[in-house]
Amino acid sequence: MDDDGSVLEGADVLVTGRRIAAVGPALAVPPGTVEIDARGGIVMPGMIDTHRHLWQTAMRGYGADWTLSQYFDWYYVQHGARFRPEDVYAGNLLGAVEALDEGVTTTVDWSHGLRTPDHAEAAVDALEEVPGRFVLAYGNIFDAPWTWSRTAGLHDLVSRRLRRSDLLGFQMAFDVTGDPQFPERAAFEVARDLDAAVTTHAGVRGATDDAAVRLMHEHGFMEERTVYVHAATLGEESYRLIAETGGSVSVASEAESSGGQGYPPTWRLRAHGIPVSLSTDSSVWGSADMFSAVRATLAADRAREHLEAHARDETVTDVGLRAQQAVWWATRGGARALGLDDVTGSLEPGKKADVVLLKNDASPVMAPVLHPWGHVALQAQRGDVRTVLVDGRVVKHDHRLLGDHVARARAAAEATVEHLRREVGEEAWSAGRVPGSGTGGFDSPYTYSDHRGAAAAAPPR
Ligand SMILES: [Zn+2]
């Protein structure tokens, strides 16, 4: 994942302390070095997920058949506010160890359920306990961003617990409704005061549209470090503005394809030269698996390219999106999006040692390895992640995570499920899983705002 996309056969990776000291064939082994045999496997940088709602992980799989409307109904309108601090903790703990287990060494916790300071402390507690690299993207869908961003608690949390090292970063997570008064200005100003990037669901059918991007641009808040999540239903002008201002898009192809945020946009982002990172969104409906994110992105991009060509009565003989590019997005693309390109995202001397070994001698899928990019993108899966290092520290060895996080996270998630079932009521809890029992589309999912945008009524583009 260096700039040349080098693939080295039979090479070594030497880690000293927290950093990669050398990469190359037949490296000298300093005395006392622990050796991990990677022969027959693939050593790659840890993957980077730029948008994952960890707090929802205790409800894993519950919304397998949900659309975006049903997701909004459950979390934004009906039940999301029932999460206690310990439930945010449970989801974060389970989701954070899941990320490590699957070779994701850096995860943006898009944490939009932080409705009290205690919820935020609980979210950070879990992220601190798990030995991965995280970015807390602080948000609260139950209150307006122009209100929660100005509470003393947020500033206190940032100075006391976040950004103390590159293992726990900070972003501001909120959406722009398109209200012409642009009340979100206050939250953007707080982000600027705190020197923090903004990550925002932009271009999501039924929620945010071109008006949001236009307002951000008019008021000077489109920055290079801004991350636009999904960006799946925007017009040409919005993509042009994102490209011009240097921001990046976090594409969650699995969620977009299934939930209806819009068609996974990489085929358009590529045309505009917009930087891309990948994300898994939420395990409540999707797999939260970065291998799946890579596959879903390749599938959606190639399907679109073929369909567009067929509509012109042409045949694609050479696909535009290569496996190498998709793997790059899952690693280096994430590092660039988060401003961590000098920290992680590639195996290069001087970078922090966030290293993943894919090797599974018991699997018929892990041999032969003929096309390393293709093997990562379309063959390997999380069960093949044998060893994971974060910041030079082995956190998974021989297919098992070290420590007792998994058992504790599973117990905490069970308690959360019990709590939610009790609070929601058995009838609604059962009905929540069944498509068709929701309330349909929304004018706007943002209950803190009176503004009703054109997003819900806009025709698909
Ligand atoms: Zn999201």
User: DSSP of 330-371, one letter per residue?
Assistant: IIIIHHHHTT-TTTSSS--TTSB--EEEE--TT-GGG---S-
| pLDDT on residue 436 | 78
Cα atoms in the 13 Å half-sphere on the side-chain side of 1: 33
361 contacts 369 by C-beta, under 8 angstroms = no
Let me know if 25 is exposed, middle or buried by CB neighbors in 10 A (0-12, 13-18, 19+).
exposed
Taking the centre of ligand 1 as the mean of its atom positions, its distance from the CA of residue 24, in whole angstroms, is 39
Closest CA to 253 of 319, 316, 302: 302
| Residue 189 token pair | 């100003």
Taking the centre of ligand 1 as the mean of its atom positions, its distance from the CA of residue 398, in whole angstroms, is 33
Taking the centre of ligand 1 as the mean of its atom positions, its distance from the CA of residue 48, in whole angstroms, is 15
| pLDDT on residue 434 | 85
Taking the centre of ligand 1 as the mean of its atom positions, its distance from the CA of residue 233, in whole angstroms, is 15
Taking the centre of ligand 1 as the mean of its atom positions, its distance from the CA of residue 53, in whole angstroms, is 7
For the chain, what are the domain ranges? 44-401
Taking the centre of ligand 1 as the mean of its atom positions, its distance from the CA of residue 229, in whole angstroms, is 7
Q: Which fold has domain 44-401?
A: TIM Barrel (3.20.20)
| pLDDT on residue 458 | 45
| pLDDT on residue 452 | 81
| pLDDT on residue 439 | 54
| pLDDT on residue 437 | 56
Taking the centre of ligand 1 as the mean of its atom positions, its distance from the CA of residue 230, in whole angstroms, is 8
115 contacts 139 by C-beta, under 8 angstroms = no
3-state helix, strand, coil split of the chain in percent (to 5) is 40, 20, 40
- Residues near 420 by Cβ (< 8 Å), separated by ≥ 6? 58, 59, 79, 82, 83, 87, 429
Where the chain has pLDDT below 50, the residues are: 456-461
- Residues near 17 by Cβ (< 8 Å), separated by ≥ 6? 392
Taking the centre of ligand 1 as the mean of its atom positions, its distance from the CA of residue 109, in whole angstroms, is 10
| pLDDT on residue 442 | 73
